[in-house]
Amino acid sequence: MPKNDNMLAILWMLNSGTKVTAKQMSEKLEINIRTVYRYIDALCASGVPIISDTGHNGGYSLLNQHIIAPLLFDIDEKKALLQAAVFAKEAGYPLSEALDNATSKLKMYSNQDQENTLRRHLAGFNVINRMGDPSVQPILAELEQAVANDCSVEIDYRRSRDEQPKNRVIDPYGMVYWNNKWYTIAFCHLRNEFRSFRADRILRVKLTPLRFKRSEAFSARELFMQNLLPDVGEKEEVISLVIKGRSEALDDLGLHWFMGHYLKERTSNQAIFLFDEKSMDTYVPYFLLSYGKSIQVIEPQRVKDRLVAVVSELMEYYQL
């Protein structure tokens, strides 16, 4: 740890309200005890009121707890930051090393009571996520820098149906984490439009000298969701899907990332969704199949027919 960080850490330890020995500081910071003495001398020379008591119960402390608010964070704010860090790391946050350093400092610059409180709150707090490919983290780090600096990048991108990656230049406007995947929302120079690019499909990122201008009103989240779940109000033909079923199943449908977006009306045993024709025929039957007999399609007949066709295709496939 750099000298300044060690000196600041000593300052927070001295501010705990209890006496701390040079040996305790050296063990916690993993530095030589002579170095601790030099840091204390430097703090005293800078005007920090350090009290030194000798003898069996001796040690160092600050006069009247010189620092009132360590790091300007109270205990709830520290707890929130540490728990948020758990979410970020589980999502594959690209700056994991910096995040670890930051959380270590938060814990270090706390008095003993705060440390015990934080330990209790973190002990039973877990986030379970599907582990992504660690090789994507360098890609995310490059994209994060490009987004922050308004820098165009050249990428090699391979979609699931492509045998070979395609080279293109994009302006990465933002990054989005959705459904266990990282995406960059970027203006594609090849297609001359905004598109979403999955980070795990980007094989290479190279910074270019090109720069772009991002509007302050731009929202990567809004653009991503608009592309993923377009507004049916913009469609010429809208079809009602009426489903009856158990309340628990209908609740789950209402929370589904796709179906819930199109929910129009809900009663205790019925839900009405509004879809465009393409979504109705292409996606809806496959989502509904997983609910089995817990739901029943009332109308339209085309969805019933499509469900039968999909099941028949599966039966034929597995009977071969």
Over residues 253-312, the pLDDT tens digits come to 999 999 999 999 999 999 999 998 888 998 999 999 999 999 999 999 999 999 999 999
257, 251, 171, 255: which is closest to 215 by C-alpha? 171
Q: Which of 71-75, 165-169, 188-192 has the lowest mean pLDDT?
A: 71-75
Q: Is the pLDDT of residue 131 over 90?
A: no
Give the residue carrying structure tokens 């305790």.
24
Query: What integer is the mean pLDDT of 156-163?
Result: 87
Dump pLDDT digits (tens) for 30-77: 899 999 999 998 888 877 888 888 877 788 888 765 554 444 577 888
Give the pLDDT confidence of 5-19 residue by residue, as tens digits: 888 888 888 877 778
Q: What is the pLDDT of residue 70?
A: 47
* Residue 249 token pair: 């199943």
Amino acid at 22: A
Mean pLDDT of 228-256: 88
Q: Tell me what the mean pLDDT of segment 141-145 comes to.
A: 93
* pLDDT over threshold 80, residue 217: yes
pTM recorded for the entire structure: 0.68
In this structure, what are the phi and psi dihedrals at residue 286, rounded to the nearest 5 degrees? -70, -35
- Quick check: 134 pLDDT over 90? no
Give the whole-angstrom CA distance, residue 216 versus residue 213. 9
- Ranges 194-203, 233-242, 243-252: which has the least confidence: 233-242
pLDDT given for residue 72 in this prediction = 59
The dihedrals phi and psi of 165, each to the nearest 5 degrees, come to -70, 155
Q: Report which of 288, 283, 292 is spatially closest to residue 271, judged by C-alpha positions.
A: 288
Q: How far is CA 124 from CA 83, 119, 127, 181, 199, in A?
A: 11, 9, 10, 26, 31
Of 137, 134, 191, nearest to 159 by C-alpha is 191
